[in-house]
Amino acid sequence: MGKKILYSCDTGIDDALAIAYLLAQKECEVVGITVSYGMGHVGNVYRNTKAVLKLFDREDIPVAMGSDTPLSGIPNDYSGGSRFHGCEGLGGILGPSSPEDYAGAKPEEATDFILQMIRTYGKELYWVTSGPLTDIARVLDKDRETAEKAGAVYIMGGAIASPGNTGPYTEALVEANVRLDIPATAQVLDSKLPVVLVGLDVTRKTLLSFEDHERWHQIGTRSALFLYEALKHYLGAYEKFHPYLGGCGLHDPLAAVAAVHPEILTTIPMHMMCFTQGPQAGKTTENVLRCNDRDYEMKAAVFVDVDAFSKEFFGRVEELLREH
């Protein structure tokens, strides 16, 4: 295997689907997962992640605990995630976590773990993120030179031409992962990390339909029924807020699939930034102050081959579900 995958997440329902895909694909080795706050406190997210790994008999993959608050140290008041993912991130099927669920984890060890992975694998390491960017910012603070040696950083977050998803359609500028830590997003986009921004511009084009959901019910294995039950909450929220879709978006899985198969995305080189103040705070856009700088480190995804994505995602995941 050439590429090594490091996945940083805040395990809610679509993060769990991304984990399932990464475990199912055969091209890359998953060398670790880091978790942070987002879908609840970091201990709860750690518990969710370990539960998904156990579901697929992959408890051998190390999980490192990261930040429990944004860079500011002040807990974020954004509650939109619970409307879609349930109070504990997986549609309520696991219930509240307890300290025993994460007793073995070491708080904020993710920074050192991530740097260790980059030092070990260098350009072979493809880093996929699908939560707040707090831990990436902390890695940059601790050792920017090492951080920028990763092969690629696929970030599910932001939106360049598409509206955000944390407010009414006509007002929304901010994507949910960005809203969780706007200063961290600004810091990451101001770095020389080899970022591929997999934002709402492309993730909104993906879909898990009600028919797909029912097919997982028919598979009937322990893992298929686990994800089927978790998805009930997610699909219910989508049906309430986005009834025109006929299913739910696969935001985090798209970033995971793109890291393994970059050819499914069309990207453009772009210097990016994130507003941190004023009415546009949290909006990600092109950094026009660098428009004459042709030394591009970052790319923004602007188109996805939906058929190729769906074939790869559902084909791989359903094979895994039948086995577990």
3-state secondary structure of 196: strand
Asked whether residue 128 carries a pLDDT value surpassing 90, the answer given is yes
- Mean pLDDT of the region 131-150: 98
pLDDT number for residue 75:
80
Torsion angle, alpha carbons of 88, 276, 202, 24, to 10: -40
Contacts of 85 (CB under 8 A, 6+ apart): 12, 13, 39, 91, 233, 234
pLDDT number for residue 33:
99
3-state secondary structure of 56: coil
pLDDT number for residue 99:
80
pLDDT number for residue 170:
47
pLDDT number for residue 102:
80
For residue 41 the two structure tokens come to 């406190």
The DSSP secondary structure of 76-106, one letter per residue, reads P---HHHHHH-TTSSTTSS----GGGGTT--
How many other C-beta atoms lie within 10 A of the C-beta of residue 217?
Answer: 14
Burial class (CB in 10 A: 0-12, 13-18, 19+), 129: buried
Q: How does residue 223 score in pLDDT terms, banded at 50, 70 and 90? A: very high
Q: 164 and 174 in contact (C-beta within 8 Å)?
A: yes
For residue 302 the two structure tokens come to 């602007």
Contacts of 276 (CB under 8 A, 6+ apart): 182, 183, 186
- More confident position, 38 or 119: 119
Largest CA distance in the chain: 56
Please, what is the average pLDDT of the chain? 93
pTM comes to 0.96
Beta-strand relationship, 272-274 and 284-286 = antiparallel
For residue 215 the two structure tokens come to 């097919």
Contacts of 45 (CB under 8 A, 6+ apart): 9, 10, 11, 35, 36, 37, 38, 39, 89
* CA separation, residue 255 to residues 65, 71, 284 (Å): 21, 24, 17
Nearest to 258 by CA among 146, 111, 156, 105: 156
Give the span between the Cα atoms of 84 and 121, in whole angstroms. 35
Q: 29 and 5 in contact (C-beta within 8 Å)?
A: yes
Give the span between the Cα atoms of 199 and 197, in whole angstroms. 6
Domain 4-323 classified CATH 3.40.50.1220? no
What are the tens digits of pLDDT across the range 251-289? Answer: 999 999 999 999 999 999 999 999 999 989 999 999 999
What are the tens digits of pLDDT across the range 23-82? Answer: 999 999 999 999 999 988 899 999 999 999 999 999 999 999 999 999 999 887 665 566
Asked whether residue 225 carries a pLDDT value surpassing 50, the answer given is yes
For residue 269 the two structure tokens come to 């080189």
3-state secondary structure of 84: helix
Give 197's strand partners. 155, 300
Nearest to 200 by CA among 230, 139, 152, 242: 242
Asked whether residue 10 carries a pLDDT value surpassing 90, the answer given is yes
pLDDT number for residue 104:
80
3-state secondary structure of 60: coil
For residue 58 the two structure tokens come to 């992959």
Q: 84 and 56 in contact (C-beta within 8 Å)?
A: no
